[in-house]
Structure 1
Amino acid sequence: MPITRTVLFTAAHEPSQPAIVGPEGALDYAGLVEDSRRVFAVVDAAHRAQDAPPPPAPETRGIPITAVSTSSAFHAARIVAGLAGYRAVSATIDPNWPLSHRVHVVVAAGIGLVIGDDPALAPALRDAGWTGTVLSLSEFRDREATAAPADPPTVREADEAFLLLFSSGTTSDPKAFLKTRRQYRENVAVSSAHLEPRPGVETLAPGPLSYSLTLYAVIECLATGGGAHLADRFDAAGLAQRVAAEGITRIVAVPAVVQVLIDGARRDPHAFAGLDLVVTGGANLPAALRDGLAAALPHVRLISYYGAAEIGFIGDSRGGDGTLLDVYDGIGAEIRDDEGHVVPDGELGTLWIRAAACSDGYLAATTDAVLRGSDGWATVHDMGRGVHGRLQLAGRAGDIVATGGHKVSLPEVERAFDAMPGLGTVCAVALPDPRLGSVVALVIEAPRPLGRSSLAREDGSAPGALPNASSPPHAVSDTPTKADLQAWARERLAPQFVPRRWYLLDRIPRTAGGKIRRPATSALIEQGEGIRL
């Protein structure tokens, strides 16, 4: 169901239903409609005041692009939602991206207005020859306070550009792609059928709006007449308080938040008595999180879905070890080899998807990468295999390594250690090897700083402190030994998947959303930052 049609309907029939709620404010549906009139009035005036506005990417068909780059999820959400009923394209840019990445996407995509608080951004954009406008969030709000409201929002044409999204900007320049209103409506149809957003349901979606998962949760809630409750930070006490006080029955979050939820439930399980469903992005949720949630909140259901922002929702996992996905009805899925041929069941290959919600392609100005083939099928280069009609993911193309003539999926190596007692976070990496080209190594995050390690290096000497570590060395007497790790791996993995090297690292690098940064982990090991077991 289109977002604006639902917003207008709910504002007319359930005006006090919460729409967007955050630490910095709250809007019900009636208030959201009125707020949107001032949001668009300020945005439209800012674009019109430019003497030489940056031409938006041709793919927008001339619609000006407004980007929000702020840590405030509430204000980012109300601006994006406020522009949804007007001729406008919105984007959310992660303020934690490197400055060069932010400048790249603003200039390349032809974004004309940026609302954000980084004082370094405006001069960097000017140096790049950009002619648009940067407003701080406080400047934007000051203009809203005095702006004459625009005409009320209206339902827009289905093929009009709606949102400008980006691939991850963590390690390389982000790729930009557009979603039309029709494509988002198709996406809402799929998620509504499987992930249970409902009219009047209060959903907590903690995290920056620059996360595609959080952004979609907001759109999904507004498109179905529910409440989107937002939070900028992940803390167990705050999570518990809001779930109880705001009547939250559904949480949509990245996997890192599931651990925060578990911690909060262990402290105060009664605060989560009304919680019914947790929906998390990223299939193959670690067993420790699945089991931890089931133990702390046995009445709460868990759905771990898989999708790609470029393509849309693809399938989910609801039980067992979470490694096998059921592909949603209406979504086509094929595993193909490098020549584009469909491979037999059980064989590793590239996942191709056919979905009505898929974007048309990446903006030409940001990349020459191809999203969709001439046959209409698309790939973001995730790897996987078919297993008796279900889908088993194996990671991105960069997660598949060749060692001794074999292809090895690093995420599958990690999953084999999910249930090992005494073992915390692990990361499988490929390290250079003169004989095999590369070998698989498992990096283990040290459990806690308690003193000198009881483990010995391969030469028999005590490892002592982690090289160049700023924190104290770790006691790892409760960490499995190398022999334990090897025995566990040999029972559960094919010989070529068994790691040949084992390392202890003070802290495995993660993104702001809690995802492990595999290249950064590998780099630390190659620089000698870990203890080899």
Structure 2
Amino acid sequence: MKFITETYNSFAKLYPEQTAIHTSNQQISYKKWNILINQTAHWLHALPTETKTIGVLLPNGIPFLQMFLGACKAGWIAVPYDLKWNLTELKQRIHLSNPSFIVTTREIYSKIKQQIPNVVVLEECLHEISQCSTSFEWEPEDDLPFYIGFTSGTTGSPKAFIRSQDSWGASFDCNRIDFELDETDHILIPGALIHSHFLYGAVSTLYLGGTVYLLEKFSAAKVLSWINTLPITAAYVVPTMIEGLLKEMISFNKPLKMISSGAKWNERSKIQIRQSFPELSLYEFYGASELSFITVLSEKEGLQKDRTVGKPCYGVDVQVRDDGGEIVQPYTTGKIYVKSKYLINGYFDHERVLQPIQDEEGWATVHDMGYVDEDGFLYITGREQNMILYGGINIFPEEIEKVISIHPDVEEVAVIGLTDSYWGQVTAAVIKGKSNLTEIHLKRFCKKHLSSYKIPRKWFFLNEMPYTTSGKIARADLVKQIERQVSHH
């Protein structure tokens, strides 16, 4: 059983002055970090509340990690909320996760305090925490839940999942074995901690005793300047960020490891990034919020087999099965099943009734389809559902379709993902409706109901949709038709 914060005490003694976290305006040593986490745990532990769940609505920074990891140490559950969500989306997720209270900045507090009752101001919490005892001893129980995250279900409404400290603690072995990281690494986290890829990167680095370099928000110029001037050895990235870095046209002759998740990279950008960073080692992994790490593709293997997502990570078993549940032969496409210690405990609803994702033998699937080759490398052929992967963010067409279909002049709508060299995929809306409909009109309409990143980037108007024999919109045909149309322009 691994508790996520269990190593801090010994690091505080072994190398008290080593930097634990470096931001553009603050640095904190392991000695001070250990004290801060103890004080935060102490503060939470003393609060009179049943639910023991803290909501974190904060920008990237030391306080975000302090609240998240202080909660872990106290045996609480932490729920990060995205600053990009609109009020409706935020309320939905607060209702699902039911936090005792939500910590946010003074500025956000003044905007939402009327609509969301249990919000508290970060500065006031930090003041109370600073008065608490600097040591904290408490024996947490095994398999303690510590993290609530969200995925949109196929219906577009959010689903909450919960995971235990044990699942993340166990997966820290992947850092050591698959990514070859240890306490000597200086690791750049350039993306928002609300995304589990970046949060995991920061939390696992602190567990292993490395130094976290945390950007407030992603900026390609800032990333390159930090890599150039600071002793950074590795960076967690998503493919969109790589595209941003390439646009800066700067090259580095410095060893650097990049750990990428999210959308599959296109070959062009892989070749370019290797030219810009001649001493780069690329580690790509395929994973899912619910399943954590699944496969990893190392630098060497990536050059030999460029279309694969790699081999199973340390401690992970992968099977590809047909509709009858039988394991298929190499090169036969089927549904991908995963078994490891890294899985979530399950999804839950408003009543906090847990629905585990594993079967009796411990296997789980997120309904991705793919096949393995004769060497055991996994290839992804697509999502069983229609999910769009936009710059590493999952977007579900059904949610957007629901909004657009409310418009009185829209007869039918299909939202599809179009291939895009920068984002991986972009969202496109295909509309059948009255002749007076315009793109501007529909965009304005979407703005009222959707977060900006969910508003379709491209709009197409058709007189007739392609249908399947059962009368549903034939999505695959529609994508082909629109892609053809785009390429002819």
1:102 and 2:90 are equivalent in the alignment: yes
Distance in 2, Cα, partners of 1:134 & 1:8: 31
Aligned residue in 2 for 1:21: 22
Instruction: Report the CA distance between 1:182 and its aligned residue.
Output: 1.7
Normalising to structure 1: TM-score of the pair?
0.69
Aligned partner of 2:224 in structure 1 is: 240
Q: Is 2:254–2:277's contact at 8 Å kept on the other side of the alignment?
A: no
User: Displacement of 1:223 after TM fit?
Assistant: 1.3
The equivalent residue for 2:460 is 525
Code of the residue aligned with 2:160 in structure 1: it is A
| 1:387 corresponding residue in structure 2 | 373
163-172 or 4-13: bigger deviation: 163-172
Query: What is residue 477 of structure 2 aligned with on the other side?
Result: none
| Equivalent residue letter for 1:396 | R
Matches within 5 A, 1:111-150: 111-117=99-105, 118-119=108-109, 120-126=111-117, 133-145=118-130, 147-149=131-133
Matched, 1:356 2:341: yes
Give the whole-Å Cα distance in 2 for the aligned partners of 1:442 and 1:36. 45
Alpha-carbon distance between aligned partners in 2 of 1:235 and 1:170, rounded to the nearest angstrom: 32
Q: Is the 8 A contact 2:178 2:314 kept in 1?
A: no
Q: Kindly provide the CA deviation profile for residues 376-426 of structure 1, in whole angstroms up to 9, marking residues without a partner as x.
A: 1111222212222221012322249xxxxxxxxx99xx9xxxxxxxxxxxx
> Shift of residue 157 of structure 1?
4.0
- Aligned pair 1:293/2:273, yes or no? yes
Check if 1:224 corresponds to 2:208: yes
CA contact (8 A) 1:248 1:275 kept: no
* Contact 1:283-1:316 within 8 A present in 2 as well: no
C-alpha distance 44-292 of structure 1, shift in aligned 2 (>3 A): same
What is residue 294 of structure 2 aligned with on the other side? 314
The residue number in structure 2 matching 1:69 is 57
Corresponding residue for residue 384 of structure 2? 397
Partner of 2:283: 303
The 3-state SS of whatever aligns with 2:278 is: coil
3-state SS of paired residue (1:167): strand
Counterpart AA for 1:4: T
Aligned to 1:373: 359
1:103 and 1:121 in contact (8 A); partners too:
no
The one of 187, 190, 193 aligned to 1:203: 187
Task: Name the CA shift for 1:343/1:100 in 2 (closer, same or farther; >3 Å).
Answer: farther
8 Å CA contact 1:316–1:326 kept in 2: the answer is: yes
Report if aligned partners of 2:285, 2:309 keep a CA contact under 8 Å in 1: no
1:334 aligned to 2:324?
A: no
Q: Measure, in 1, the Cα distance between the counterparts of 2:62 and 2:172.
A: 21
State the secondary structure of the residue aligned to 1:376: coil
1:255 counterpart = 2:256: no
Relative to 1, partners in 2 of residues 1:296 and 1:20: Cα closer, same or farther, differing over 3 Å?
same
Q: TM-score, with normalisation over the residues of structure 2?
A: 0.75
Q: Tell me, in whole angstroms, the C-alpha distance in 2 between the residues paired with 1:312 and 1:148.
A: 35
Deviation at residue 191 of structure 1 after TM alignment: 2.6
Secondary structure, aligned partner of 1:277: strand
User: Equivalent pairs: percent with the same residue?
Assistant: 21
Residues in 2 aligned to 1:347 and 1:439: alpha-carbon distance in whole angstroms: 29
> Runs of 5+ in structure 2 lacking a partner?
402-413, 423-437, 442-449, 464-481
Give the whole-Å Cα distance in 1 for the aligned partners of 2:98 and 2:274.
47
Structure 2 residue 33 is the aligned partner of structure 1 residue 32: yes
Q: Tell me, yes or no, if the aligned pair for 2:55 and 2:102 is still in contact at 8 Å.
A: yes
**SS of residue in 2 equivalent to 1:284:** coil
Whole-angstrom CA distance in 2 between matches of 1:527 and 1:27: 57
User: Which of structures 1 and 2 has the bigger CA Rg?
Assistant: 1
Q: Secondary structure at the match of 2:204?
A: helix
Q: 1:443 to 1:306 in 2, by over 3 A?
A: closer
* Residue identity opposite 2:82 in structure 1: D
Q: Residues of 1 paired with 2:73 and 2:354: CA distance? A: 31
Distance 2:78 2:185 in 1: 25
Q: Which runs of 5+ in 1 are unaligned?
A: 57-63, 127-132, 401-409, 415-426, 433-437, 447-466, 471-508
Contact between 2:345 and 2:356, CA under 8 Å: does it hold in 1?
no
Following superposition, the deviation at residue 347 of structure 1 comes to 2.7
Distance in 1 (alpha carbons) for counterparts of 2:22 and 2:185 = 13
The AA in structure 2 aligned to 1:69 is L
DSSP-derived class of the 1:40 partner: helix
How far the C-alpha of 1:252 sits from its partner, in A, is 0.8
Taking a change above 3 Å as real, the CA distance of residues 281 and 154 of structure 1, as seen in their structure-2 partners, is: farther
TM-fit CA distance, 1:163: 2.1
Measured on the aligned residues, the alpha-carbon RMSD in Å equals 3.7
Match of 1:84? 72
